[in-house]
Amino acid sequence: MTGTTNPTKSVMEHYSNRIVLTTYPNQSVANPIPLNWGASTPTSRGPVIVSRSKSTISKRNAIGAHGGSYAIYGALAIASGALDPDFRPNFLNTQPTFNFPTQAAWGDKTKIVSMDPFGHEIVKHYASHIESGLDVRPTIAVTRATMRVSEISEAIKIGRLSIDGNIVLNGQGDVRVTKVAVEPVWYLPGVAARFGVDEVLLRRALFEHTGGNYPELITRPDMKVFLPPIGGLTVYIFGPPERVSDPNIRLALRIHDECNGSDVFQSDICTCRPYLVFGIEEAIKEAQNGGSGVVIYFRKEGRALGEVVKYLVYNSRKRGGDTADQYFQRTENIAGTKDMRFQALMPDILHWLGITKVDRMLSMSNMKHDAIVEQGIPILERIPIPDEMIPEDSRVEIDAKIHSGYFTTGKQFTEEDLKQVKGRGWDAWEDITH
């Protein structure tokens, strides 16, 4: 830090001399406010309390920190003096723009295990806790916005999408949307059950493989809730949000896992952005026809393997001869597994929204399909991405996926076919020796 202030001293003074490395049940610093996951009302459930601030540390009933991966930036902001460690948010006017109707699933600890079903109305339900000085924060925020996506503007221009003045506002392609951001809040027994593993094993693995972070995963078996340092999800709702949970109204749904290289930067090695945009267009059409359109965007970059692993895989594919028959093996060679997205927790958000059936599922993924159906939500129709939207270089991926069980209404591929599906080489950019 440059400048005249040196915050180091005052921040250090904020912390006690005796560092609380972990806590144990029945200690004086371990006097948690009861948290009854699965209780049907926010009052009987109790607030999720995770802060280690002075006023709150003894009342904590959850492990981890708010903000998902951004918790680290919060720590950096405090260490650098940019943020007061005792800062409390002013929640004036932050309430949801739409009141999602309470669902039975909000009080069912088997149906929602990876988000706080009352996380959007913390300020309303737990005002007395906040007023008493406890640091309680929302983990869900609901807002509304207008968005403009170039492919959607193009679809309007060529007449594939119409301007209705309500959802699609104009010829520039401005589209009205309700957005819900959700941070992960894990009820560990429920997460363990979803994966069919023992809770003790899950807690041990989370402790060991995060550099020994969160020792309370081991020492506080009474604390059942964990706010993990990972990304969450965003729901984009087209059309009136009250339609989403109405079983008599048709629903088009796209579940999308983040792929920054394609979603934002439009790399042509995969079908991610084309499928996302197709999902948005179909969601808009469904809403314009009196139905509801929902796109849910999960922060699970590169099949939750991350971009570094993803690019290593790209290199090994391009340098090793990029054919569809070897597509999954290339990932497994580097990551040890072909996918870490594990769709088992994904349907929680559908339960939260009150979705009881999906009329049109804009996805070919068998994993997403099976996870939703296993949660008791039938999928009436599955819609593959139209062939003309598939970039040439992404055929390697999509054909390999179809061969591995992805849904298609088109061609099924044999092992022999896959050997012939080749991606673009790098020859124009560098010399490649096979």
Judged by the rule CB under 5 A, the positions of this chain that interact with Zn ion are: 259, 262, 270, 272
Smallest distance, Zn ion to C-beta of residue 272, A: 3
Closer residue to Zn ion (CB): 51 or 343? 343
Catalytic residues: 339, 341
Report the residue number, 216 or 301, with the smaller CB distance to Zn ion. 301
The bridge status of strand 62-64 relative to strand 292-298 is unpaired
Shorter beta-carbon distance to Zn ion: residue 250 or 403: 403
Is 51 in contact with 66 (CB distance < 8 Å)? yes
Give the number of C-alpha atoms closer than 13 A to the C-alpha of residue 358, restricted to the C-beta side. 30
- CA gap 182, 68 in Å, rounded: 10
Q: Which whole-number Å values give the CA distances from 283 to 159, 291, 360, 391, in the listed order?
A: 16, 9, 9, 22
At closest approach, how far in Å is the CB of 300 from Zn ion?
11
Q: In degrees to the nearest 10, what's the CA dihedral of 74, 77, 79, 80? A: 170
- Cβ-based nearer residue to Zn ion, 259 or 304: 259
Tokens of 319: 């340098």
Are the CB atoms for 245 and 354 separated by under 8 Å? yes
Q: Is residue 173 left, alpha or beta, with left meaning phi > 0 and alpha meaning psi from -120 to 50?
A: left
d(CA 385, CA 248): 26
Give the separation between CA 207 and CA 210, rounded to whole angstroms: 6
The torsion region of residue 5 among left (phi > 0), alpha (psi -120 to 50) and beta comes to beta
Structure letter (DSSP) for residue 379:
B
What are the tokens at 35? 């948290």
In the complex, the smallest distance separating the C-beta of residue 270 from Zn ion, rounded to whole angstroms, is 3
Q: Which is nearer to Zn ion, 270 or 345 (CB)?
A: 270
| Nearer residue to Zn ion within complex by CB, 269 or 418 | 269
Residue corresponding to tokens 């604390």: 223
